[in-house]
Amino acid sequence: MDLLSDQLWAVGRVESPLTDRDAAPRQGDEGAPQAGIVFHPEMRDAMADLRVGDKIMVLTWLHQGRRDVLSVHPRDDVSRPRQGVFSTRSADRPNPIGMHAVTIIDIAGDVITVRDLEAIDGTPVIDVKPLLGAVHER
């Protein structure tokens, strides 16, 4: 495969009571706790317009993911047939990017607190984007 010449930056890190990948919920809406996103101080201008109540997509780098895995049993259930990882949300995949739809419930300095984030403590955050509403609201 082609290696991209550009490299990813960690724009922040997840701060969470979850420390064990195997014990974490599979998705944010399956019992994940509230968690902090601690932005790098250089990101202050990029995060300046985030507001409490905003629904955002947080992209993370699932640093414990196995990058050589191309198919998995969905939800680690061996009674289910293996599926190609592009049809699953497995953390094991060629580029282990996590995608988390969350709501901001607090902002204090460089830290935002969100609900329902299943990423474990220390997970690098690589991007934050607004969830889009209707075309006329953009």
Choice from 38, 50, 107, 111 touching its own copies (CB under 8 A): 50
* Coil vs helix vs strand at 5: coil
Q: Among 138, 115, 118, 128, which residue's Cα sits nearest to residue 56?
A: 128
Judged by CB under 8 A, does residue 52 bind its own copies? no
Beta strands at 12-15 and 71-72: parallel, antiparallel or unpaired: unpaired
Near its own copies in 54-73, by CB under 8 A: 54, 56-57, 59, 61, 63, 67, 70-71
CA 44 to chain centre: 20
Nearer to its own copies, 2 or 22 (CB): 2
Nearer to its own copies, 14 or 56 (CB): 56
**N-term to C-term CA, the chain:** 36
The DSSP H or E segment spanning 45 is helix 44-47
Residues binding its own copies (CB under 8 A): 1-4, 6-11, 26-27, 29-30, 40, 42-43, 45-50, 54, 56-57, 59, 61, 63, 67, 70-71, 74-75, 83-89, 93-95, 97, 99, 124, 126-130, 132, 135, 138
